[in-house]
Structure 1
């Protein structure tokens, strides 16, 4: 019976030179202390670097949110030395109980609902075709992308004042309509002065400012689609319209959810456009919930109270949270 020969032990470099190999040096008692000291120094350095951001967030974020939440249960005009604790009375006054505040809030909520429906819908209907056309452009794509993105990077207040000038009774819109023989469509009071056209005009201006970001999101999604998928649909006989409706549109559905969520949030909580251009007028025909919260805090003639404004702000936060959860559920079901 044959036996398998054992391999010879490997010779170390020291043994090859005829030297006795040195044993491994054992770690001394001071090595652990040095490692612990170094780790402690690194941890303290890291904490010191992040401390300013943490303190700023704690003061401007957590403290402000907590302060505002407590203020929503009190009545305070911003000048009195003490609060008057009223519990849920602020919420009751806003929703149904106080005849001075509840009707205004109901009108503002209805206008906000119109904006929340129209702005996301029109933004998607305008931005997706623009992204498709821009994606198919062979020349000057970078220039066109920059031109379409100009409304977003331009100073908001300057743009709003420019829109005010364009929409005045003697502004550019009425002038162009008159020169085209459609003077019957012009508005002698201005497009923002007529109660029937003020809110639709504000919706158009809001969509104009929301389209650039949505278009770039769609353009990013279109450029990430595998070309073989589009080529396969064309080989199957699908035309341009059928390809974009049946193939491209389902693939960019997650981007559509993001665009809708962003515009719903801005439509629910944003008020800068309405404040600068109309301040809720004419009458209260362009008053929205965000602007109403601002008015309750600073502009109300009837005993301004920061408690009511804070309560309305938390109602808006709850509505935004519900919308975000619904959108998250829709995105999960879509994927």
Structure 2
């Protein structure tokens, strides 16, 4: 052979091409790569199909439903365009006042729950971080409300808050009978919503406390020791050193509680179902009511439209929180 390798009779390949040609018993890299890619696609195909059916299709179906009138039983939709959104926001004398009332209650929950959760969980995490003994046991005890079945906990709270429940009984034993609620803490329109806010905060504190506790354990001890050498006391150290360092965690805690306050409704559904007199009705519960409690009327489109309004509000809040967090860091 000369400089060019011969292949068969009368055919030649450029020099070096013979080295790259697959020999007997060797697989081409193209075939190997194609086989691996095909195997990968086959493995992920069930997850992709499940996501497409349960995720994309459901979201798209719900979005289209928000522009239609349907009660869930009729074979066909009635396309109404933006009428559902207009009815919910201002036009309908039936639905618009309920949505405004539920929106006001939701606003109070969105303000009170994140603030109270931070005010309770941060000091609790600081105290728990200083505990030298039984820290794991105390952490488990404080986290117990989160892992306990929500329905059972809510029914227990409902029993405690009844007219003859433990709260009124305790107030009577302490000589504070004037604070007792003869209708129960959930039956009085003036105390129902604040009581549900307290229950919501009680269930939100465990996760927030663990987030703060994780952040406290990542703080460099030299920073705290330097603050102590400068004469800063316990309060000053936590307010001027620890709290600013945990600002990202505070943003996460606030965002999580804002999302739950805006879209969550399980506590309100189980404990009061929006009563008394819609004083504890929130937007999530109103959407649930429109979707499942009024099937004789074509309100599934209204429920879907209200759900998308809640999604848009949650997205705006997330963007605002992210922007604020980036500007501070």
In the superposition, the TM-score normalised over structure 1's length comes to: 0.91
Given the alignment of the two structures, is residue 124 of structure 1 paired with residue 118 of structure 2, yes or no?
Answer: yes
User: What's the counterpart of residue 129 of structure 2?
Assistant: 135
Number of residue pairs matched by the alignment: 311
Q: Distance in 2 between matches of 1:178 and 1:321?
A: 46
User: What's the counterpart of residue 217 of structure 1?
Assistant: 211
Listed as ranges, the gaps of 5+ residues in structure 1 are: 1-24
* 1:1-335 correspondence to structure 2 within 5 Å: 26-30=19-23, 33-300=27-294, 303-335=297-329
Q: Distance in 2 between matches of 1:27 and 1:34?
A: 10
Judge conservation of contact 1:297–1:304 (CA < 8 Å) in 2. Answer: no
Q: Distance in 1 between matches of 2:284 and 2:128?
A: 34
1:163-188 deviation digits (Å, cap 9, x = unpaired): 00010111111111111111111111
- RMSD over aligned CA atoms reads 1.3
Q: Distance in 2 between matches of 1:327 and 1:56?
A: 32
Deviation of the 1:33 alpha carbon = 4.5
Q: Distance in 2 between matches of 1:106 and 1:315?
A: 13
User: What's the counterpart of residue 14 of structure 2?
Assistant: none
Judge conservation of contact 1:157–1:276 (CA < 8 Å) in 2. Answer: yes
Which protein is bigger by CA-based radius of gyration? Answer: 1
Judge conservation of contact 1:296–1:304 (CA < 8 Å) in 2. Answer: no
Deviation of the 1:320 alpha carbon = 0.3
Q: Distance in 2 between matches of 1:302 and 1:249?
A: 53
Local SS of the residue matching 1:256: helix
Structure 1 range deviating more: 278-287 or 175-184 = 175-184
Deviation of the 1:41 alpha carbon = 1.6
Local SS of the residue matching 1:26: helix
In the superposition, the TM-score normalised over structure 2's length comes to: 0.92
1:115-154 deviation digits (Å, cap 9, x = unpaired): 0000000000000000000000010000000000000000
Structure 1 range deviating more: 42-51 or 310-319 = 42-51
User: What's the counterpart of residue 6 of structure 2?
Assistant: none
Deviation of the 1:299 alpha carbon = 1.2
Judge conservation of contact 2:71–2:296 (CA < 8 Å) in 1. Answer: no
1:26-79 deviation digits (Å, cap 9, x = unpaired): 344348753222222211111111111111110010000100110000000101
Deviation of the 1:334 alpha carbon = 1.3
Q: Distance in 1 between matches of 2:47 and 2:41?
A: 10
Q: Distance in 2 between matches of 1:328 and 1:79?
A: 42
